[in-house]
Amino acid sequence: MTTTQDRVESLRDQLVAWRRHLHRNPEVGFHEHDTADYIEAELRQMPGLTVTRPTATSVLAVLKGGKPGRTLLLRADIDALPIEEENTFEFRSQRPGAMHACGHDGHTAILLGVARLLSENPEEVPGEVRMIFQHAEEIGPGGAEELVMETGLMDGVDVVTGLHLNSQLPAGLVVVKPGAFMAAPDTVHITVKGKGGHGAHPEQTVDPIAVGAQVVTNLQHVVSRHVAALDALVVSITYFQSGTTHNVIPDTAVLMGTVRTFDPELRQRAPELIERVVKGVTEAHGAGYDFRYELGYRPLINTDWVAAQLKEIALETVGEEHYQDAQPTMGGEDFSAYLEKAPGAYFNVGSGSDEADSRWPHHHPRFTIDEESLVTGARMLHAAALRLTTPE
């Protein structure tokens, strides 16, 4: 066992204690006041860190290393979700209507652990490590965007990394992928404008429900007939609202959906492809439409060399039997905002196990993590901090 591993091992109980405190006291995006106060107080006990609050509910700790090197940004997101927790363990949420159901309590504990380890041995750290405890990952346009655009957080940053726990992977498994890793989650809003009337006389109306149904089925042609099979595109209409009762044809139907892409060019083309279908179908039936397209987080594209280094670090730190190349996912992440400004890579650490009953999906009221993943995450991120700050 390397010294890094010994040192993380000695932090095991502390990692669990931090995580459980945070789990008990969840706060949703932009309301993480107690969370940020807690993180700040913990960081202030660690020598050698400069601790500030870039925004009201985010915390930044900066460690200047003892020798020349790169400036690295490590990121953990700290926000919870508006979910009523259904777990019954002793450290379940004490706050009605809020829950750490995505693992951000774990991310925060892991980064606190890394801050502690780095602060204990600053002379071994090259360059500079900035540790950002980021607010509001779950709420678009996301806390990352605010930090990147409105604070100097990324000024002079050479490389960035961070991790997400993943309940769908076995606890302790590390997965990394170069290139496209997570999709851009954009949103489409469509209103089909028909002409209401009596349900017995559809010929006197323009039925927005019938037209809306055509829009939904025709949109699938965008995917199957206008985009090459290997260019990943998902169009899901997830909301269809119209009508009030059984014998009245309504005036309008409101549709919403999510559009997921990896490729920036395809992402740019998608609104036009979709609107063309909406326009064609509504016109063919004498209906009108409103169309609104909202861009979500950017696609998360990992920088190849950083992903390659993380893979090497994983092979050294957790070993071949706990490493896999990652598959791309259609989920979105505001970590992509940092990657607009500097090279970097985002990776996953598995947190699912039967023993911890932690295979529930993210955002589920029973979600939890196998706390062994805290140790794996801290090992990875600590090793990454030392490696990625080391100049070529």
Q: How far is the CB of 165 from Zn ion (least distance, A)?
A: 8
For this structure, is 137 an active site residue? yes
Strands 59-64 and 126-134, by their bridges, are: antiparallel
Q: How far is the CB of 60 from Zn ion (least distance, A)?
A: 20
The angle subtended at Cα 327 by Cα 175 and Cα 381, nearest 5°, is 25
Residues with Cβ < 8 Å from 9, sequence gap 6 or more? 1, 375
> Judged by CB, which is closer to Zn ion: 99, or 388?
99
Instruction: State yes or no: cis peptide before 141, omega within 30 of 0.
Output: yes
Q: Which residues bind Zn ion (CB under 5 A)?
A: 102
Q: How far is the CB of 137 from Zn ion (least distance, A)?
A: 6
> Judged by CB, which is closer to Zn ion: 186, or 334?
334
> Judged by CB, which is closer to Zn ion: 102, or 383?
102
Is 107 annotated to bind a ligand? Reply is no
Q: How far is the CB of 77 from Zn ion (least distance, A)?
A: 6
Q: How far is the CB of 161 from Zn ion (least distance, A)?
A: 16
What single-letter amino acid sits at 375?
A: V
Closest residue to Zn ion: CB criterion: 102
Q: Which residues partner with 64 through β-bridges?
A: 128
Residue of 32, 79, 85, 333 marked catalytic:
79
Is 201 annotated to bind a ligand? Reply is no
The answer to whether 382 and 26 are in contact (CB under 8 A) is no
Phi, psi of 158 (to 5 degrees): -95, -30
> Judged by CB, which is closer to Zn ion: 101, or 386?
101
Is 135 annotated to bind a ligand? Reply is no
Residue 7 structure tokens: 């040192």
Q: Which residues partner with 295 through β-bridges?
A: none
Residue of 27, 85, 128, 137 marked catalytic:
137
> Judged by CB, which is closer to Zn ion: 289, or 338?
338
Is 104 annotated to bind a ligand? Reply is yes
The answer to whether 163 and 107 are in contact (CB under 8 A) is yes
CA distance 163 to 33: 23
Query: Annotated binding site, which residues?
Result: 102, 104, 138, 164, 363
Catalytic residue set: 79, 137
Annotated binding site for Mn(2+): 102, 104, 138, 164, 363
